[in-house]
Structure 1
Amino acid sequence: MSKLSRIEMLQSFAEQEPENPFNWYALALEYQNSYPENAANLFHKLLKEHKGYLPTYYHAAHFFAEYGDLDLAKTIYEEGIVLAEQEKQEKTLRELKNSYQNFLFENDLGD
């Protein structure tokens, strides 16, 4: 019996439990380097269908910044910061704010 690849395993989990955002999130992270178009599609899916899944925001913003969609990355950071504030997730809020400030600085997008 062949061992399932990590991607195949994560795809299977996502198909079995499509309402669980973690499965889509894990698959998006796995796709980032090898299949960026698939990762982009999954990040869009998460941001649309699972807006309350906070871990998505940091990685999606970073991903889209890396691929040159700075406006989308900026929006995702800002939405993630608002969500983290609403959920009183202090550690995630700090991480998002720090990453957002670095993003603004690196891309010369400061106010």
Structure 2
Amino acid sequence: MSKRLAVLESMIQKGSKDPFAWYALAMEYAGADRIDDALRTYTSLRDMDPNYVPQYLMCGQMLVKAGRVDAGRAWLEEGVTRARAKGDSHALSEIQSALSALDD
């Protein structure tokens, strides 16, 4: 286990509500091909802070790469809605691009 992963898991286990810590933990799991752990972490983050827009792109892309295209599309579509509501045009563009790639 990487030191970064251990530190992030410790932060979460101690009750951190910092969305970036949860996001970083999910990214670490995804990078280690621990897709189910990453998905659980992204889902917990979404429940805790649904307006943390970067999670939708990263989780959606991870799921698509893992062959879970329908689930990935659902995350990306929710990300479009959240990015629009937040006025985050950069994230909106990235998420829409990822969605478009699914239809190619």
TM-score range, shorter chain: 0.7 to 0.9
Deviation at 1:17?
4.7
Aligned to 2:63: 64
Measured in 2, the distance between the counterparts of 1:37 and 1:71 equals: 15
Structure 1: 5+ residue stretches without partners: 106-111
Structure 1 contact 17–23 (Cα < 8 Å) conserved: no
Larger of the two Rg values belongs to structure? 1
Residue number in structure 2 paired with 1:6: 4
Question: Residue type of the partner of 1:18?
Answer: S
Give, in angstroms, the shift of residue 13 of structure 1.
2.3
The CA deviation string for residues 19-54 of structure 1, in whole angstroms up to 9 with x for no partner, is 222111100101113222211211222223321111
State how 1:1-111 maps to structure 2 within 5 Å: 5-34=3-32, 35-105=34-104
Which protein, 1 or 2, shows the higher relative CO under an 8 Å CA cutoff with sep ≥ 6?
2
SS across alignment from 1:32: helix
Contact 2:51 2:86 (8 Å CA) reproduced: no
Where does structure 1 differ by over 3 angstroms across 4 or more consecutive aligned residues? Answer: none
Query: What is the total number of aligned residue pairs between the two structures?
Result: 102
Give a deviation string over 1:81-105, Cα, whole Å, max 9, x none: 0111111111111111111101222
Distance across 1 between alignment mates of 2:100 and 2:22 = 27
Q: CA RMSD in A?
A: 1.6
TM-score (normalizing by structure 1): 0.82
Structure 2 gaps of 5+ residues are none
SS in 1 for 2:40: helix
String of CA shifts for 1:4-28, please: whole Å, max 9, x gaps: 8111111122234532221111001
Query: Which one is further off, 80-89 or 32-41?
Result: 32-41
- Give the secondary-structure state (helix, strand or coil) at the position aligned to 2:52: coil
